[in-house]
Amino acid sequence: MKKRHINLIITITTISLLGIVFTQLYWVKKAVDLKDEQFNASVRMALKSVANQLLDYHNDSTIRQIQEFGPECIIEKTNIRDLINFSFLDSLMQEEMGCMKINRDYEYAVINYLNDRFVMGKYAEYEPELLRSKHKVSLKALYRPGEYWLVVYFPYQKSMILSQMIVWVILSALFLVVVIFTFSFTIYSFIRQKKLSEMKSDFVNNMTHEFKTPISTISLASEMLLKPFVFKSSEKTKKYAHVIFDENTRLQNQVERVLQIAILDKGEAKIRKKELDIHKVISKIVANFNLVVSKRGGKVLFKPNAKDHIIVADKVHFSSIIANLIDNANKYTPENPKIIISTEDFRDGVKIFVEDNGIGISPENQKQVFKKLYRVPTGNLHDVKGFGLGLYYVKTMVEAHEGSIKIHSELGKGSRFELFLPRSNKKNITHEE
C-alpha cells in the first residue's frame, strides 16, 4: 500500500474515532442533563404535593375567613406558625422524599423572602444555599401576607444523579479506552510491520548485491583458468586461483555473519567465557585494521588506560564486537578516518570507547541502530554496503556478557561508542591458554 493511502486511512480513522469520542461525551452530558431535569420535575411535584396537603389540612373556616376578608384586619392576629405544624410538615416531607427514594441528604425550610427569615424547617449547614435553591413552592395559597415559600436543597444532587448513571458512564469510558487502545495498537503494529518488511526487502537487496560481486568475480576467474594460455602459465593460474580463494573467503564471511544472527535469534549462540586480557586482543585487532585504514589516509589509535584489563569474556565474540565497531567507524568515515580506541577502569568492570570522526548518527537514529536489519536512511550522504546486523550483534553479545552499550554522536562530527563490560566470575573460570 502506498504511503499516501496509509496516511489517508490513518487520518480518516483518527478523525472518526475523535468524532465517536466527542459524540459519546455529548450523549453522556445530555443524559446527565436529562436526569437532572427529571429530578427537578419530581422535586417540583413533591413540593406541590406537600403544599397541597398542608392546604387541605388547614382548609378550615379561619383560613377561608382570612382569604375572604383580606389581610388588613386579621393579619396581626395570625401567624404562619399557627397554620403549619412543624411535625406534620416534617412527616409530609419525609413521605414525599421517600417516594423519590431520597431519605437523607436534603435540608428544607419555610422562608419568608421579604426579609429572608427562616420560619421553620430542618436545616443546619446550608442556609445560604437554601435561600438560593431553585426547588421551592409558594405557600401563598396557605398564607397570603409576606412571601412564604417552602424550599428544599439537595447538597449532593449532582453526585446523586451521577451515582445513578455511574455504571453507564464507566462502561462507555471503558469501551472508548479499549477502542482507542486497540486502534493505536493496530496502527503501531501496522507501521512496525511495514518498516520491518521494508527493512527485510532492503536486506535481501543488499545481500543479493553483496553476493553477486564475489560470485561474478569467481565465475570470471574460473573461466580464465579454463583458458589454455592461462592454465599453461603457473603464474597466471596462481593469480586467478588467489582471486577465487579471496572472493570465496569474502563470501564465506558474509554467509557466516548472516548465519550468526540466525543463531543469535534462536538463542543458541555459544558463549565460552574465559579470563581475557582485553588490551592484548584489542591491540591485535587494531594492528589488522591499521593496514586497511592507512590505505584510506587514516589511522587507528589505541589508548590502553585501564589498569585492570583482565575480564571474563568469550574471546571470539569479544573480538567480533570490537572488530564490528572499528569496521563501522572506518565504513562511516568518508575521508581520513581517525579512529581512537581507549579503555578505562569503571567500578567492577572496564569501559571501552570506540571513537571516530565520521558522518555521525542523528539522535532519532541513535535509538534505532541497534535494531536488527536497521540501517540509517542515508539519502545521498554515503553509499556504504551493509546488512544492518553489526550493531544488533554487538548489543546482543554485550548484553550476553552482562554489559551495556551507549552512543554519543553528533551528525557530521563523529560517533563515540561506549561499552561497559563487567570483570565478573573471575574466580570460577579456566585460565586463558
Residues that bind ligand ADP (CB under 6 A): 328-329, 332, 356, 358-361, 369, 374-376, 386-392, 415
Whole-number minimum distance, CB 430 to ligand ADP, in Å? 31
Residues 432, 18: Cα–Cα separation, whole Å: 64
Whole-number minimum distance, CB 366 to ligand ADP, in Å? 9
Residues 418, 415: Cα–Cα separation, whole Å: 10
Whole-number minimum distance, CB 342 to ligand ADP, in Å? 15
Whole-number minimum distance, CB 341 to ligand ADP, in Å? 12
Residue 275, all three cell numbers: 579470563
Other beta carbons less than 10 A from residue 371's beta carbon: 15
Give the residue with the Cβ less far from ligand ADP, 403 or 414.
Answer: 414
Give the residue with the Cβ less far from ligand ADP, 228 or 379.
Answer: 379
Give the residue with the Cβ less far from ligand ADP, 337 or 349.
Answer: 337
Other beta carbons less than 10 A from residue 198's beta carbon: 12
At which residue does the C-alpha cell 471503558 appear? 174
Which residue is at the shortest CB distance from ligand ADP?
Answer: 386
What's the Cα-to-Cα distance from 256 to each of 41, 262, 269, rounded to whole Å?
Answer: 82, 10, 13
Whole-number minimum distance, CB 219 to ligand ADP, in Å? 25
Give the residue with the Cβ less far from ligand ADP, 74 or 263.
Answer: 263
Whole-number minimum distance, CB 343 to ligand ADP, in Å? 18
φ and ψ at residue 393, rounded to 5 degrees:
-60, -45
Q: Which residues contact 394 (CB under 8 A, 6 or more apart)?
A: 321, 324, 325, 370, 405
Give the residue with the Cβ less far from ligand ADP, 146 or 388.
Answer: 388
| Type of residue at 131 | L
Whole-number minimum distance, CB 227 to ligand ADP, in Å? 37
What's the Cα-to-Cα distance from 65 to each of 55, 60, 203, rounded to whole Å?
Answer: 14, 9, 105
Instruction: Report the candidate in 207, 247, 204, 203 with the shortest Cα–Cα distance to residue 224.
Output: 247
Whole-number minimum distance, CB 404 to ligand ADP, in Å? 17
Give the residue with the Cβ less far from ligand ADP, 136 or 375.
Answer: 375
Residues 37, 265: Cα–Cα separation, whole Å: 64
Give the residue with the Cβ less far from ligand ADP, 63 or 329.
Answer: 329
Instruction: Report the candidate in 423, 366, 415, 357 with the shortest Cα–Cα distance to residue 395.
Output: 366
Give the residue with the Cβ less far from ligand ADP, 314 or 356.
Answer: 356
